[in-house]
A = this chain, B = another copy of it.
Amino acid sequence: MMGKLREPLLECSLPAALESMGERWSFLILRAAFNGLHHFEEFQSELGIARNILANRLARLTDHGILQREAMPEDRRKIQYSLTEKGAALLPTMIALRQWGERWETCVPAFPILVDARDRRPIGEVAVHAHDGRVLKKTDLIWALPQDIAADPDQMQAAE
């Protein structure tokens, strides 16, 4: 990830991502949503978060299109919060952070264990992969300008 070229540190998408997810509780609320929680009181009692902060975060996550709120038809007092496509797209980030915490902070395997529903085998470690599937480390990455990027063989074939 070294080299002369460097990422512009403040115009990139990471600050944009942190705009919606960088506040305290946001990740924990998101995880609760991934775990099937849907209602204000569920979040409140499971997480032990203050009600005003929870209300604030749910509104913020909804504003950012990460959660969607919908009044339940059978009891219109009940609001169901559920992940949007955009919210669900945070799955790899969340699992990556969880795996990191497991490996480097708690140092105990999570319990219960997250497995592939199809074959009930544990999921792999989230990693950065090359186009061909090799796992890449920090030192394997560099920044490149569009013209320095190797062409996709499929595209080359199509162009021939």
Q: Which residues of A contact B (CB under 8 A)?
A: 1-2, 5-7, 9-10, 12-24, 27-28, 31-32, 34-36, 46-48, 65, 83, 86, 88-106, 110-131, 133-134, 136-146, 148-150, 152
Contact = CB atoms under 8 A, between A and B. Distances in A.
Contacts of A99: 13
A55 B150 CA distance: 41
Copies in the complex: 2
A124 B129 contact: yes
B86 A96 contact: no
19 contacts: A9-B28, A9-B35, A9-B47, A10-B48, A12-B110, A13-B101, A13-B106, A14-B27, A22-B27, A93-B93, A93-B96, A112-B143, A113-B144, A113-B149, A116-B131, A116-B136, A117-B141, A121-B130, A123-B129
Q: Which one of A134, A143, A146 has the highest number of Cβ atoms from chain B below 10 Å of its Cβ? A: A143
Contact of A14 (B18, B101, B150): B101
